[in-house]
Structure 1
Amino acid sequence: MANPLDGEAIEDLGRYIKAQREIARLSVRHLARIAQVSDSYLSQIEKGRYQPSAQVLTNLAQGLNLQPDVLFRMAGWLPAPCGDTVPGVEDAIRRDNRLTESQRTALAQLYRSMVDG
């Protein structure tokens, strides 16, 4: 699992974690507390300056109500399943409380139709 990410992949992982935190309406401080890291360390992860350990990713996934394998795939530690879409997009749509159920369904179907061709 010690597969180091390149700079762009680390930045993508950090942006994804930040986006999920914002969707969950969690502060950096609150998520850091859940993940058992300092706020400054979480902030650096979100900026793509540090590659978190497997334990930190597991804790972040728990705090974001995600399956750890979503973050592990983004970290390059697990292969993407065949035909997989961008990790967590549909999960994020389902969890966005600003949308009605019918909007979530429509948006998820639209997303699938666009990525599946």
Structure 2
Amino acid sequence: MGRVDETVNKAVNQAVSDLGDYIRTQRNNAQISLRQLAKRAGVSNPYLSQVERGLRKPSAEILQQIAKALRISAEALYVQAGILERREGGPVVDAVLADPDLSERQKQVLLDIYASFRRERDTADEATRQSEE
């Protein structure tokens, strides 16, 4: 049992570290300092620093505040934190979610359209396979 606990702890620690790296990368991409992000997100500098270094796992509410301050999708942070499952679509979905110039509503509309195109293609592929049988 101890070995399983150790493996789980390592996985959780890695996920928290990855989340911190992701937040740091997004902050650097936005060209804002740790202090500026902390102020915009309504958290303390030391706390945000600990999050970025993987020492703390923020709540969903704090992640939402950080996402808003970074002008990125809260969903992207939730996926990184393991709160939500990654949506299908791969790099296209990731790119839309990471685009700081789009509002949350615009991102959702784009993703809905993209998903409908994928469903349409899948339906056409299935019809083709059935007609070939």
**Same fold by TM (over 0.5)?**
yes
Kindly indicate whether residue 66 of structure 2 is the aligned counterpart of residue 60 of structure 1: yes
Amino acid at match of 1:6: V
Q: TM-score, normalised by structure 2?
A: 0.61
Structure 1 residues 19-64: Cα deviation after superposition (integer angstroms, max 9, x where no partner) = 1001101111110011111001000000001000111100100011
Of 17, 30, 38, 1:11 maps to: 17
Higher-RCO chain (CA-CA 8 Å, sequence separation at least 6):
1
Q: What are the equivalent positions in structure 2 for 1:68-107 lying under 5 Å apart?
A: 68-85=74-91, 88=94
Q: Which has the larger radius of gyration?
A: 2
The equivalent of 1:41 in structure 2 is 47
Unmatched tracts of structure 1, length 5 or more:
96-117
In 2: Cα distance, 1:7 partner to 1:24 partner: 26
Structure 1 residues 6-29: Cα deviation after superposition (integer angstroms, max 9, x where no partner) = 011110100000010011011111
User: 1:87 offset after TM fit, Å?
Assistant: 7.4
CA-atom RMSD, angstroms?
2.4
Runs of 4+, deviation exceeding 3 Å: 85-92
The percentage of counterpart residues that share the same residue type is: 38
Q: Report how many aligned residue pairs link the two structures.
A: 92
In 1: Cα distance, 2:44 partner to 2:13 partner: 22
